Amino acid sequence: MVRVLGRIACRIACAAAVFAVASATAQAAPISMSVRTVSGAYYGGTFEGTLNPDGITYSAAGSGGNVTFGVDWSVAYEEDPFYLANFTIVNTSTSTQQFVLSVSLPVSPQIPGSSVMGGYFGQVTYTDTSLNSTVQINTVGSTPFFVPSIDGVDVQNLGIFTATAGGGPGVSGTVSQLAFGTPIPSAPGPAVLTNIGGVVTFELTPGDRAVFPIYFEVQPVPEPMAALLVGLGIAGLAVIRQRRSN
């Protein structure tokens, strides 16, 4: 009996060790990122993330393009899920180009019920790198600048604008941040079964540059009991502060 128990204990310990090694070496599912133009120019792919020092989030980055545009990008993400992507786009062609940027992130675990969500596109900085003393960035018709999605379905539209700066070589301008579901995440959302994503669409004048971040986060709806406990905690702190002030 002692020997049998010893073997069982050994197997459990060995299994735990294998699980620990597997957990330590596990990688987040790859994130997909792409940039394309109406003329057919393309850069992108699926990229493996590197675990950040916090042990929870991942990062990926890259640069590329072709004779018509250049792109530098970086993204921090977690499959729980959220992503924060930063882009620098340079229109190296001789004409105004329409750009379409896409991000897609697998989720794990699923959120089978209702969710809460939120996100933003950050301050957009557009710069006259052609040095012709003017630069313009604008959305395309009725297509918003940033459209986040869940399981391939659009869940929000952010930003319709035309922004122009002029007055001298190297001039630049900004488009202010626009957010939804603040405090993020708090807007009602659907179940999340496969992925979250987002698409950015805009036009940029020739030879010029645009720099901006996008952010999207989705979480399960807090359970009623958890919300109740949070509410009671806040009420308790209020009572304590009031007593101290008296």
pLDDT by residue for the chain (246 residues), tens only, comes to 333 333 333 333 333 333 333 333 345 679 999 999 998 999 999 999 999 999 999 999 999 999 999 999 999 999 889 999 999 999 999 999 999 999 999 998 899 989 999 999 999 999 999 999 999 999 999 999 999 999 999 999 999 999 999 999 999 999 999 999 999 999 999 999 999 999 999 999 999 999 999 999 999 998 764 444 445 445 555 555 555 555
- Those residues whose C-beta lies under 8 Å from the C-beta of residue 191, and which sit 6 or more positions away, are 110, 111, 112, 113, 114, 115, 151
- Structure tokens belonging to residue 152: 């391939």
Integer angstrom CA distances of residue 107 from 77, 79, 164: 10, 5, 38
Peptide bond into 185 cis (omega under 30): yes
What is residue 191's three-state secondary structure? coil
Task: For residue 109, say if its preceding peptide bond is cis, omega within 30 degrees of 0.
Answer: yes
pTM: 0.80
